[in-house]
Structure 1
């Protein structure tokens, strides 16, 4: 089995620094975890929050902590340092080889889309964000790991795309792109391009899109590609 994880992101129009942080980390018992954190607000202050949370998550996962414990730990961290006055949303998508499962952890209102050969699922139950409430817990879903799965997570900038112009992005359009026979990175890029079109190339918020796919291809080579506008 081969897993591809691709990220596409853009800052809010006019902001040099975005408040979203995304990362991919290898799991010590096999597999990978994709992380997206959206700090409250935008700009440098939001970036400091999201970046610090992702750093702690990366360390905890590398140490072998389970996803639910990781989410609770960073919730307590943010609540402690900011006194319940600053929030962040978190989505983690883990492909865990030790449990042969996909683990989806959410703190926030952004849905996760899962597609396989049999069905389409949108996990969109409301769950409290990190930081505001002392006893916030993540909402966790665990699915059997299969070949041919596509999982997409994103921040609320995508949810708001087009709303300013009364032409909001539609789940159906996103799912149609996810079902196209193109690369994982092309899917993330194409969905981001659609959001930018709907926002008339002036995104109203930071947008981060992460797509994870499993396939039956075989390879012993691990690859990471990154493009950063400076």
Structure 2
């Protein structure tokens, strides 16, 4: 039996107010789960409304049994139709699908997905257009074997831009080396450290919403216990 570990962290623009990003976790009806990250155009409440609309539509479709590629295309069509091509959003789906025994990544976002499998770290990037502007936009799809020890991580573009205004841009290479060395149990700690580093680069007041989400597969776990912990300000 394998165990799925998930972790995420969010910080709104300026470290105040409401984030324009939405992260959701949904169980798949045939086994597994999906992490969803949506980033609405702009920031604040208006962006939040867009990202919530996108994320909750994806939740509904996944819960109904739709496959990830079909989910991303349907969400794109919904946003394009609802806002007549005038509003954009990004969407990333990280899935563990136990029905097919695979990891599935659907991307409509500029941010890369970091993948770790069998002591190798690689990026999935490029070839992924944002949704909402063009009628025929399609997701970039990747399917990997669900191997124990696998890790997947992605983020909103606030992390990509962290530190640029101060001349200290984010260094993916250094964090990829750390990503290679952590255990699945350390995934939550890694995500928190990544967020702390981004906030340091932004001197505590990010110029854009920052969101990070990740999942990992832990092998040889016979416990049926499920746990979820959250820390959320209101």
| TM-score tier after normalising by the smaller chain length | over 0.9
Shift of 1:135: 0.6
Query: SS of the counterpart of 1:45?
Result: helix
Task: Spell out the pairing of 1:126-165 with structure 2 (5 A cutoff).
Answer: 126-165=127-166
Query: SS of the counterpart of 1:70?
Result: helix
Conservation of the 8 A alpha-carbon contact between 2:110 and 2:125? yes
Alignment partner of 1:187 out of 187, 190, 211:
190
Across the aligned residues of Structure 1 and Structure 2, the Cα RMSD in angstroms comes to 1.1
Quote the Cα distance in structure 2 between the aligned partners of 1:207 and 1:128.
19
Question: Which runs of 5 or more residues in structure 2 are unaligned?
Answer: none
The number of residue pairs the alignment matches comes to 230
Question: Which runs of 5 or more residues in structure 1 are unaligned?
Answer: none
- TM-score normalised over the length of structure 2: 0.95
Distance 1:14 1:191, change over 3 A: closer
- TM-score normalised over the length of structure 1: 0.97
Is 1:208–2:215 an aligned residue pair? no
Shift of 1:128: 1.2
Ranges of 4+ aligned residues in structure 1 off by more than 6 Å: none
Quote the Cα distance in structure 2 between the aligned partners of 1:126 and 1:161.
22
Which has the larger displacement, 4-13 or 120-129?
Answer: 120-129
Quote the Cα distance in structure 2 between the aligned partners of 1:176 and 1:191.
13
Alignment partner of 2:224 out of 220, 223, 227:
220
Quote the Cα distance in structure 2 between the aligned partners of 1:222 and 1:180.
22
Shift of 1:59: 0.8
Shift of 1:116: 2.0
Which has the larger displacement, 94-103 or 10-19?
Answer: 10-19
Is 1:198–2:201 an aligned residue pair? yes
